[in-house]
Structure 1
Amino acid sequence: MRLFSRLASLIVSLIALLAVAPPVFAGSDTGSHAWSTRPLVLRSGPGAAYGVTGEIAADVAIRVLRCQRLWCVVDGDGGRGWTGMGAIAFGRTSTDWPGGINPDYPAGGPGSVCFFTGANYTGTSLCAGPGRVFNDLALLNMDNHFRSVQLTGNVSVAACRDRFFQSYCERIIESQPVLDQYLVNSLSSARIY
């Protein structure tokens, strides 16, 4: 009985220690690819009133796990925590989105952009012309469904991983039989130019 009591006490102590210990995170393989545009102060919650839990250097690759209004949970060298969205660039480089868009990108039509649920332009499609904006594809029951995109005519599209253009975005200027690894089956918002 005494051994059981000691074992139970040890387990309770271990659980209490783990509950207050700061978490240790390795770089995440999930989330949207992004960059820190300046040093990121990491906090325990979405706001300046929360305690500082770490810092990530400027101009380094990070993962954005989710965003809430003006704050995002990020993961990278330096830890995981909440930081202001204004210091995050979503894209392939650390240049602020839309990533130095070339003013010569196709825009204005005539033409259309069609997203397909299958690779190589197969399956169910969603097509639209210039000026059409899809802030949240979940409203059409098409969130995270697309694998390829076909552009015809003088058009391009800003395709984003999260609704309301809050995460990794790519300006697509030519057809892709398979979307970029960050967008395939992860597309949530789009703007047709």
Structure 2
Amino acid sequence: MTIKRITFGTTIAAITLLTTLAASAAPGVATGAVNVRTGPGTGYAKVGTLAAGEVVDVKQCQGSWCFVDRNSGTDGWASKNYLAPYEGGGGGGGSDDTEIPFNFGMSVGPGGPSFSFGIGDAPPPPPPPPAPAKVCFFKGNNFSGAQFCVSAGTDDPNLPGGWNDSISSIKVQGGAQVTVCKNVWYGGFCTTISTDKPALGSYNNAISSYQAF
């Protein structure tokens, strides 16, 4: 019983400290339209766009990139060159240093949650590497049945007989896009796909050529 009480008390203390650290995020404002990405670099996938004048909480910075917490839209990393202190938030203080000198983490195991935290300028753990840019084609709806995948930069002006007019769903990852056409050599009607498509509508079983990029 004593051990349980200590563990519970430690957990509450850690949560309280994490809440305090999170509250120390610096308010910032976007000085222009800028992409929001899954990691600190242009090689990471785009997950949204900050509009000029959008106010965010800057959680931490790594090099020339900062992780921003948005009131609306997906959180992620944005170029520090497009961020400035938000004077209206009362926390900018005229300084252009938006880095947060706190770092913390949490993991959950069989024994319950555990916390780690520190104070200093150590950078946060690096995010996972970006997913490779590729496109996958499926013969069935909802990404089912036979499939083949290609890297960005691949094209085929004339799909082989086993795949010509036989594609029913498409997955994209790593920021890849693909233009699919109903005729060979990119003829007929074409459309560009940048998000997963579990069903292709009028392009179902009607694709004869593609260009992935």
Q: TM-score range by the shorter chain?
A: 0.3 to 0.5
Greater relative CO, 1 or 2 (CA 8 Å, sep 6+) = 1
Tell me the TM-score normalised to structure 2 length.
0.38
Larger Rg: 2
